[in-house]
Structure 1
Amino acid sequence: MVDDDDSFSTTTVHASQLRSIVERIERLEEEKKEVAEQIKEVYAEAKGNGFDVKTLRKIVALRKKKPEERTEEEAMLDLYMQALGMLPGGEG
């Protein structure tokens, strides 16, 4: 094994860069944890004000989707529910 200055400095730079990346990820993970806790608190507040948390979560998920994605998803849900006899005219 050859030890030369270029090999050592490259390893040092990569180690330094790696450490920086890992530390950034750790900070972001901590921020994510704090945000998740804040979201949990907002849902608890909503529940305390009489809102249904399960429905709120569904609304938040639906708002993330494009209208055409929601329409397609709803059509598939209706189709499956009808096939299972869960809607009027279903075969179930």
Structure 2
Amino acid sequence: MNETTNNVGGIAADRLRSIIERVERLEDERKALGADIRYVFTEAKCAGFDVKAIKQIIKLRKQEPAEVEEQETLVETYRRALGV
């Protein structure tokens, strides 16, 4: 291979190109996944589900149970303090 193709200014050009192309492919996949997720939320909304509530449930499921319980207790304490 041509030396200028592989190493330019101390940079391995082929390796750099490979990394950039992989990141670009992953970004394209992320966009596609985002579109898929939006479609599922649209489907949920059309089926009569509250999308905000679904997003909250998804957020809660990512947390540890003890963390969720602590957060719920704190919110309830604040609600009582404010008379809500």
Normalised to the residue count of structure 2, the TM-score between the two structures is: 0.80
Structure 2 unaligned regions, length at least 5: none
Is 1:83 the counterpart of 2:77? The answer is no
| Correspondence for 2:37 | 39
More strand by share: 2
Residues 49-82 of structure 1: CA deviation (Å, up to 9, x unaligned): 1111111111111111111111111112112222
Q: Provide the TM-score with structure 1 as the length reference.
A: 0.74
What is the root-mean-square deviation in Å for CA atoms of aligned residues?
2.0
Aligned runs of 1:1-92 on 2, under 5 Å? Answer: 9=7, 11-13=10-12, 15-86=13-84
Q: Structure 1 regions of 5+ residues with no counterpart?
A: 87-92
Distance in structure 1 (CA, Å) of the matches to 2:15 and 2:41: 39
For the pair shown, the structure with the greater C-alpha radius of gyration is: 1
Runs of 4+ in 1 over 4 A off after TM superposition: none
1:45 and 1:20 map into 2 onto residues whose CA distance is: 37
Aligned residues: 79
Distance 2:17 2:74 in 1: 47
> Deviation per CA, 1:16-63, whole angstroms, max 9, x where unpaired?
222211211111111011001001001101111111111111111111
Q: Which amino acid aligns with 2:29?
A: E
